[in-house]
Amino acid sequence: MAVLPICKLPDPVLRQQAQEVTEINGKLQGLIDDMAETMYAAPGLGLAANQVGQLHRLIVFDVSHKEGGPRKPRVVLNPCITAREGEIVHEEGCLSVVDFAAEVRRHARVVVKGQDRQGKPIEITGEGLLAVVLQHEIDHLNGILFIDHISRLKRGLYLRRLKKQAAAR
């Protein structure tokens, strides 16, 4: 397994839509393992393939590790939110949006359908933090970042700071 470089804003790959996974092979399995290793090394709660420059509809996540439990990485290929309800406001950060966090309004409960790493159909019901992580990572696959869910003013301030930092380098 390898720790992959994480793409950072303003990398254009973060704004692209990922493509459906149609072939499950050794290369994809290696990417899944590398993404899990990268997520833990970062450290993060989830990682979408776009974040490592791969446009596959693939996410890895592990919220149990944050709560002090052992590592239990989970994988969803071609994830799709099929049901959503309630509302939660949660502070989010992102491995691709450096040095910034903000409160984001999301659904409190979601149902996600997709496939496991062998291609078998799975359904995950997430509430609270798990619901937030699932929505955040699926957004990535659609080219959406958590900063797209905050006010234009806050987003603008962050983007100006990012440009200023890039110009200073």
Per-residue pLDDT of 4-37, as tens digits, reads: 999 999 999 999 999 999 999 999 999 999 999 9
**Phi and psi (nearest 5°) for 140?**
-55, -45
Give every CB contact of residue 66 below 8 A, 6+ residues apart in sequence: 45, 129
What the block records as the tokens of 40 is 């833990």
| Residues 120-163: tens digit of each pLDDT | 999 999 999 999 999 999 999 999 999 999 999 898 888 888 88
Domains belonging to the chain, first-starting first, are: 12-168 (3.90.45.10)
Q: Could you say which of 20, 67, 92, 137 is catalytic?
A: 137
Measuring CA to CA, which residue among 72, 40, 65, 39 is closest to residue 140?
Answer: 39
Burial class (CB in 10 A: 0-12, 13-18, 19+), 122: middle
Burial class (CB in 10 A: 0-12, 13-18, 19+), 45: buried
The kind and range of the H/E element at 113 are strand 109-115
Question: Is residue 85 among the annotated active site residues?
Answer: no
